[in-house]
Structure 1
Amino acid sequence: MTLTEDGQIVVSGLTKHYGKVKAVDDLSFAVRSGRVTGFLGPNGAGKTTTLRMILNLVTPTSGTATIGGQRYSDFPHPVRQVGAILEASAAHKGRTGRNHLRIMCAAAGLPLSRADEALELVGLTPAAKRKFRGYSLGMRQRLGIASAMLGDPKALILDEPANGLDPEGIRWMRDLLRKFAGEGRTVLVSSHLLSEMELLADDIVIIANGKLVKQGPVETIVNGISQAERVRVRTPDADKLAQALAGKATVTQENGVLLVTGIGAPAVGEAALRAGVVLHELVEERPDLEQVFLELTAGKAGIR
């Protein structure tokens, strides 16, 4: 049986106990194909344990995790179906990047030419003959992604793939993963870089203390945060504008800036115009993924 066309990852009731510690506690979520899903949580949330259970590197206490309807260990040729990296690529220090990938190709029954194709895909062709000991952390991350892509898989599972990448490298990775998802494949990415996840991910799964906190499209979750939107206003006539807005909105002052809630920026601008108030700044502040994450996981960080 081969991976189904959608390659969907389904976690159902997944639980892992280490003695009295519940690293993952009855966790369920689905990762849809054709989309990038960010897997988020504070330190000790159980993210890495969950990824290891999906890849059958850790045996769950209970529950299941499937990829395209199958357990990872049941695939006859898993590298051709699922690509994964759980840490920066490890390789023999005296081996070149090309030879490292060629050995992986030989072990997986793939043509050796896939090594050069994968190096080209991740931008490491110029460093193909360099030994691993001379690779920077960013280059090792790229080599790890190349190894995950060797089998041209339908699903990618990556744990903190941006570690060690510079801004250009992070943008490259974002474009690569979005292209991969755009081909109808499945991408699950664990990361602490919330600003990057807001740019990269279509959906997010947030866990804390091993439990699901929130899941869904990024935009839906960010827009649904309880914190009200507010308008940031800078003006030399702050008191006059505050008076003009009295009864229409809630106005507070912070370091000489007016923070207005209850009405939008257009209404604030119209009130300023009627009151003859000059505006130097008028910005509608919306909650971002970082605010949502911190609100949803407040006090839930753990140590595992």
Structure 2
Amino acid sequence: MSDGQSSPSAGTGQIVVSGLTKQYKNLRAVDNLSFTVQSGRVTGFLGPNGAGKTTTLRMLLNLVTPTAGQATIGGHRYADLVDPLRSVGAVLEASSAHKGRTGINHLRVICAAAGLPRERADEVLAMVGLTPAAKRKFKGYSLGMKQRLGIAAAMLGNPQVLILDEPANGLDPEGIRWMRGFLKGLAAEGRTVLVSSHLLSEMQLLADDVVIIAAGRLVRQGPVDQVIGSMAHGTQVRVRTPQAEELAAALREQAATVNKDEHGALLVAGVDAPTVGRVALATKVELHELTTERPDLEGVFLELTAGKAGIR
């Protein structure tokens, strides 16, 4: 890169949240929250509205003072970083800029204030695909364009750590796919990427790890596949057959749980698809469909956070 910075090395940007608590009079927004975000991975930060996600991110960036506990980036509080712009890039809302200023000039102002070379603004604008809109005024930017401009600003210092709150807001499907590739690429370079989002299907595609909170407390953390796999009791086999009652009776003899959906298909739990197939063969039942249905991140999230409102 033309600013002469070397690429960030893996392992230097681990985020550690330890016993973090924030009390607002009668509301405890975050309650003894602890988790770790590893370098070289995209971590999804998930929770229902009011779960304390934004408050946690603000404490991580020292925009809000914790009531108890601490959060560190690479072993240091954000406020203690010597050159935070070169260490951490953060976007907590769609980019804000002077309405009459162009996108490129907005970035050049930040470069001048941070002692970064002027050409870095052009580089990050190209990085987020906004070069064609470089000379358009900010007031003419769509929400999705503002999101991209915010990410461009966060990348000006070539940071090791990127922290984003709902970065896909306002993006169309193509923009969301671009965002996925962009963030995965940053993690592949060894950077630490922490992303808060409500788009659970997208987070299943994007994230390597997830941290799920509800009512300010941690409810689950780990690699996406492991978190989904931990709810393996939600796995079932969907079966369509013209001899449903006969097959259901045979499967119940194998200690399977069998229910019907609204279309008459059997939903079988407690045995796997090969077992269903063997039972069907042994009972001479004709099968029209045999599909294993596994829980997805959205289903796991809803089950883990069901009924958990904000702490008061």
- Mapped to 1, the partners of 2:222 and 2:63 lie a distance apart of 27
Residue 258 (structure 2) pairs with residue 251 (structure 1): yes
Q: How does 1:114-193 map to 2 (within 5 A)?
A: 114-193=120-199
Partner of 1:23: 29
- Displacement of 1:268 after TM fit? 1.3
Partner of 2:303: 295
Partner of 2:5: none
CA offset digits 1:122-180 (Å, max 9, x no partner):
01111111111111111111111111111100000000001011111111111111110
Partner of 1:194: 200
Q: Residue 233 of structure 2: SS of its match in structure 1?
A: coil
Q: Which amino acid aligns with 1:157?
A: I
Kept after mapping to 1: 8 A contact 2:125/2:152: yes
Please, what TM-score do these two structures have when normalized by structure 1?
Answer: 0.95
- Displacement of 1:6 after TM fit? 2.2
- Mapped to 2, the partners of 1:13 and 1:242 lie a distance apart of 50
Pick closer, same or farther for the CA change 1:51–1:3 going to 2, 3 Å. farther
- Displacement of 1:226 after TM fit? 5.8
- Mapped to 1, the partners of 2:249 and 2:234 lie a distance apart of 21
Pick closer, same or farther for the CA change 1:3–1:56 going to 2, 3 Å. farther
User: How many pairs are equivalent?
Assistant: 303
Partner of 1:99: 105
Partner of 1:274: 282
Kept after mapping to 2: 8 A contact 1:230/1:260: yes
- Displacement of 1:213 after TM fit? 1.1
Pick closer, same or farther for the CA change 1:265–1:4 going to 2, 3 Å. closer
- Displacement of 1:3 after TM fit? 9.9
- Mapped to 2, the partners of 1:234 and 1:90 lie a distance apart of 54
Identity of aligned residues (%): 71
- Mapped to 2, the partners of 1:205 and 1:289 lie a distance apart of 12
Residue 270 (structure 2) pairs with residue 262 (structure 1): yes
Kept after mapping to 2: 8 A contact 1:44/1:303: no
Partner of 1:11: 17
Q: Residue 236 of structure 1: SS of its match in structure 2?
A: coil
- Mapped to 1, the partners of 2:241 and 2:12 lie a distance apart of 54
Kept after mapping to 2: 8 A contact 1:4/1:68: no
- Displacement of 1:184 after TM fit? 0.7
Q: Residue 286 of structure 2: SS of its match in structure 1?
A: coil
- Mapped to 2, the partners of 1:7 and 1:228 lie a distance apart of 36
Partner of 1:284: 292
Structure 1 unaligned blocks of 5 or more: none
- Mapped to 1, the partners of 2:273 and 2:12 lie a distance apart of 43
- Of 214, 218, 225, which residue of structure 2 is paired with 1:219? 225
- Of 222, 232, 237, which residue of structure 1 is paired with 2:238? 232
Partner of 1:47: 53
Q: Which amino acid aligns with 1:196?
A: E
Residue 97 (structure 2) pairs with residue 87 (structure 1): no
Q: Which amino acid aligns with 2:177?
A: R
CA offset digits 1:42-76 (Å, max 9, x no partner):
11111000000000111111111110011111122
RMSD value, Cα: 1.7
Q: Which amino acid aligns with 1:301?
A: A
Q: Residue 14 of structure 1: SS of its match in structure 2?
A: strand
- Displacement of 1:223 after TM fit? 0.3
Kept after mapping to 1: 8 A contact 2:29/2:311: no
- Mapped to 1, the partners of 2:246 and 2:122 lie a distance apart of 67
Runs of 4+ in 1 over 3 A off after TM superposition: 2-5
- Of 103, 109, 122, which residue of structure 1 is paired with 2:115? 109
